[in-house]
Structure 1
């Protein structure tokens, strides 16, 4: 039992640890220096960063860059800062309370409320998986000419890939995710060099512009970027996988774990910011400057990249990055699904059964749309998946803020006065913007 886990604030005791098969499985050298300790905590941040660069982000970033140039870079930056803050709160909850966010909800709310939160979260995970299915299917079509319908079916192979790496160990999963993220980085590094963006307009785009609020189209796209950036299932995921490290479960040990895990998360999310910003920058430098300001489709963007940049490799690397992004989302979606099901309703399924159920939920609507309407409507389905994610976001953020603000639950680690204000401001901004987005969509 932990030497420092506040208990009086919880209605129920936590009877099981999160992800028991990998809980406290990665050693942390206690007498090592800063860099060795940071290395031992590195990994979970990259798994979290995946959710901030999944295929669902691509459509909004491409639209934003082609229509408004570099103006919406500031929105990506602000969204990323929100993400860094919320993931820090998620780390605190997991380390201090020794519960993931799903377990914390189960130990705090009534069963009826937990059931609703669980269903909403499962819908969000299915929506995220839907975006991964569509992204991977489109990438396979771009690279090999495989029809999207068949591409959707091929994504079922992900189940076997995930199982293989899960049985190998948690460090293997982190290694695969790292390799795929750096593949995306290399691809977009090439795209940026070829697109030759203008430096001063680019830097100006990082400063918030009042035009974003005055222009309804820019505001709508900006809210879409925010909704696609902050992922609800990441808050459940991070509060769990941070506990895979074997740090001392006492006050000093938990303080150390929060510090190093936050550094890991912040560095990883900086990579996610670079990738999201790169998509928008390439779109602005390639499409906006050439007069193609109505680019809103991933496939159309892929077709236009090579002729506009004068390199056949540009389109290929764009598709490779999209495929890597989709596969990364598969890895984290699997873990998030397991955490949510075990945490909310204490149901344990074999990983392959859990993965198959989630993937079938995603494949069915993708197949129906591909067969009935063809590839053109897949983009609309991708946008719908982001709307569903937006609807769930508030239901994850608000409990996280409530729990980490509570001294009875968090002890001396509860949020201070300024952190409480910042947490509620971010939560209210996210909720208000997502409500506005949903009203505009429907």
Structure 2
């Protein structure tokens, strides 16, 4: 592959986070961040809707599909990070180097469609959350999400680490909320373990499994991850690159496993609360919210929202 002949990826924050002069945990923390920004794409309403549908219709049976999807995502995101670290290219630049124009234009179009679809899901998801928590009409919730853009631009102007701290905090809050949710509903550990064992799927279960895989593996995140890892300033030596690869693998593994925990928690929640109580057709987030309140009281749906 040809060397990078284009401008640096994310020029404003390229190599802006120093990793030199640090050892042990401080070294690891210097690399923690990019994968958490990527992991947000794995925790959107599309994932949650398919998890709710899968859990309410088939109980814990599709948990192994989530696990397999997470392993696939972990492999692809790790390879994407390696591209950015070793070659100093993001996936878009590497594609331009490797493929002719007639192949790159469709790739560009597909990536843009995926990004737009994900953005729509995030906007609608926040609007639904505000509606469930505060009763705000969806149109007002969507209008408020415009402020997200200005907030992220403000944080980025303060430095990449500020944005990463904010995103990591949000992901942590989501994780803690669903941990508390698991303590409230108290699912069967044995049944959860059985759900992680691969089993034969057919009919509607197969369609929902395909939906879970499609909602979990995010192609546009590969472009993002290969770019974000270049915000770290590393030594361009064999030792420095290998060290960066190791710490980025740790970062990716932790972040994506947290995303897996959140998605698995939603499926387990649906299986425990809905499937076991005879509610087999719960596919909407709003319906799940209302049913949780009826079954477990006010705290469970609030944490869910």
TM-score bucket (shorter structure): over 0.9
- TM-superposition CA deviations, 1:343-377 (whole Å, max 9, x none): xxxxxxxxxxxxxxxxxxxxxxxxxxxxxxxxxxx
**Which residue of 2 is the match for residue 313 of structure 1?**
299
- Answering whether residue 170 of structure 2 is matched by residue 176 of structure 1, we say no
Please list every run of 5 or more consecutive structure 2 residues that lacks an aligned counterpart in the other structure.
none
Q: Alignment partner of 1:51: what SS? A: helix
Residues 273-284 of structure 1 mapped to structure 2, 5 A cutoff? 273-284=260-271
Distance in 2 (CA, whole Å) between partners of 1:297 and 1:55 is 10
Aligned length: 305
- Answering whether residue 252 of structure 2 is matched by residue 262 of structure 1, we say no
Once the 2 structures are TM-superposed, how far is the Cα of residue 153 of structure 1 from its aligned partner? 2.2
C-alpha contact 2:4 2:89 (8 A) present in aligned 1 = no
Distance in 2 (CA, whole Å) between partners of 1:13 and 1:108 is 11
C-alpha contact 1:45 1:264 (8 A) present in aligned 2 = yes
- TM-superposition CA deviations, 1:32-62 (whole Å, max 9, x none): 4332221111111211111111222100000
2:77 to 74, 87, 96: 87
Distance in 2 (CA, whole Å) between partners of 1:34 and 1:259 is 13
Once the 2 structures are TM-superposed, how far is the Cα of residue 13 of structure 1 from its aligned partner? 4.3
**Which residue of 2 is the match for residue 21 of structure 1?**
12
- TM-superposition CA deviations, 1:137-180 (whole Å, max 9, x none): 11111111111122222222222112111111100111011111
Distance in 2 (CA, whole Å) between partners of 1:111 and 1:217 is 40
C-alpha contact 1:14 1:107 (8 A) present in aligned 2 = no
1:253 to 240, 250, 257: 240
**Which residue of 2 is the match for residue 124 of structure 1?**
114
**Which residue of 2 is the match for residue 138 of structure 1?**
128
**Which residue of 1 is the match for residue 64 of structure 2?**
74
C-alpha contact 2:56 2:280 (8 A) present in aligned 1 = yes
Distance in 2 (CA, whole Å) between partners of 1:284 and 1:35 is 38
- TM-superposition CA deviations, 1:360-400 (whole Å, max 9, x none): xxxxxxxxxxxxxxxxxxxxxxxxxxxxxxxxxxxxxxxxx
Distance in 1 (CA, whole Å) between partners of 2:30 and 2:205 is 42
Residues 315-330 of structure 1 mapped to structure 2, 5 A cutoff? 315-319=301-305
TM-score normalised by length of structure 2: 0.97
Residues 158-177 of structure 1 mapped to structure 2, 5 A cutoff? 158-177=148-167
Distance in 1 (CA, whole Å) between partners of 2:160 and 2:194 is 41
TM-score normalised by length of structure 1: 0.67
Aligned Cα root-mean-square deviation (Å): 1.3
- TM-superposition CA deviations, 1:162-219 (whole Å, max 9, x none): 2111111100111011111111112111211111111111111011112x2xx21111
Distance in 1 (CA, whole Å) between partners of 2:4 and 2:229 is 20
Larger relative contact order, structure 1 or 2 (CA cutoff 8 Å, min sep 6) = 2
Distance in 2 (CA, whole Å) between partners of 1:296 and 1:104 is 39
Distance in 2 (CA, whole Å) between partners of 1:197 and 1:160 is 40
Please list every run of 5 or more consecutive structure 1 residues that lacks an aligned counterpart in the other structure.
1-8, 320-442
